[in-house]
Amino acid sequence: MSKLDVVGFGALNVDKLFKVNRIAQEDEESFVTASSQFPGGSAANTIVGLARLGIQTGFIGKVANDREGQFLLKDFKRENVNTNGIAVEPNGSTGVVMGFVDTIGERALYVAPGVNDTIRFEEIILEDFESLRLLHFTSFVGNSPFESQKKLVQQLPRHVKISLDPGMLYAKRGLKQLKPLLKHVSILLPNEAELKLLTGLGFEDGSQELLTQGVEIVAVKRGTMGCFITNGEEKHVIKSLTVRAMDTTGAGDAWNSGFLYGLLSNKGLFECGRLANFVASRCIVKMGARTGLPRITDIPKL
Ligand SMILES: Nc1ncnc2c1ncn2[C@@H]1O[C@H](COP(=O)(O)OP(=O)(O)OP(=O)(O)O)[C@@H](O)[C@H]1O
Ligand SMILES: [Mg+2]
């Protein structure tokens, strides 16, 4: 097996997008006018972003032995992401997120976590800790994978850093529940709303609060406003790039790829933030979370 630098651990989903004439209310019927599907899952998108930038990556997760599961595994292989850590459950269904988008771009999302939520600690396969530099976590709906993540962080060798994008799902759990995980997290990657939910504070004070919990770097995504990054000593507010946004799905995941790539390449925090904003801007000018993710040759000298 090739040596892996970064492994992701999060939900694996197929994103099924349906264009509809309008989003149905209770007892109402509306029509699907077009549909498409994309490989998805927050950590998975970030890992593909890192793979495109030349990082050796792998993934820990679970799919079922169905068409969706095969679709996700095939796409990872195409992107050169190692799939040895992905368990294939003979029964059940692979995670699916159904998105309904109406003619003015309003969305309704339905999540079917499927076998994602049945991951147990004993199922986690990580063949090679030695070369591993970073483990990137994102959220799950259910408790079993959350407990597995808490257990895993206690057993990792010290040289493996942990990054976490809590998403709304983990932000909603609150600081108290997240504490056992946060104690081991070096890099926390929330958006502004998630940070507010976790700390009750704005981006600057909220980040400070999380640094006191033992996190080394807090990087806050602020949508069109860009980002805020701090490690306690340095603070950077960095504006986003001006682009014509087409589909912001996965903007945060793409941002994480750029930021983590910068850190892995030993760049300073300001440069990491600029790289992250750039990768996110490339993501949002294309449909889907992964389509626009750049390759190393697309990165301009910043
Ligand atoms: N309209 C936009 N124009 C330019 N850049 C944008 C725009 N929207 C988002 N970005 C970039 O994408 C980054 C991440 O977006 P955002 O803050 O929405 O993350 P998020 O809420 O975590 O997204 P996600 O829904 O993917 O989880 C921002 O920090 C910014 O750099
Ligand atoms: Mg996000």
Q: Going residue by residue through the chain (302 aa), what tens digit of pLDDT does each one get?
A: 568 999 999 999 999 999 999 999 999 999 999 999 999 999 999 999 999 999 999 999 999 999 999 999 999 999 999 999 999 999 999 999 999 989 887 889 999 999 999 999 999 877 777 889 999 999 999 999 999 999 999 999 999 999 999 999 999 999 999 999 999 999 999 999 999 999 999 999 999 999 999 999 999 999 999 999 999 999 999 999 999 998 888 999 999 999 999 999 999 999 999 999 999 999 999 988 999 999 999 998 76
Cβ contacts of 177 within 8 Å, gap of 6 or more: none
**Residue ranges per structural domain of the chain:** 6-12+40-96+113-296
Give the whole-angstrom CA distance, residue 110 versus residue 69. 18
For the chain, counts of helices (H) and of strands (E): 9, 14
**Ligand 1 site: residues with CB under 6 angstroms?**
191, 221-224, 226-227, 240-241, 243, 245, 248, 250-253, 255, 277, 280-281, 284
Mapping DSSP onto H, E and C, the string for 50-103 reads HHHCCCCEEEEEEEECCHHHHHHHHHHHHCCEECCCEEEECCCCCEEEEEEECC
Collapsed DSSP state (helix, strand, coil) of residue 114: helix
Ligand 1 geometric centre to CA of 21 (Å):
27
Q: Please, are residues 39 and 75 in contact by the beta-carbon 8 Å criterion?
A: yes
**Closest approach atom of ligand 1 to CA 276:** 31
* Minimum CA distance residue for ligand 1 atom 6: 224
State the fold for domain 6-12+40-96+113-296.
UDP-N-acetylmuramoyl-L-alanine:D-glutamate ligase (3.40.1190)
| Most distant CA atoms of the chain, gap in Å | 56
What is the model's pTM?
A: 0.96
If you measure from the C-alpha of residue 205 to the centroid of ligand 1, how many angstroms do you get, rounded to a whole number? Answer: 21
Ligand nearest to the CA of 15: 1
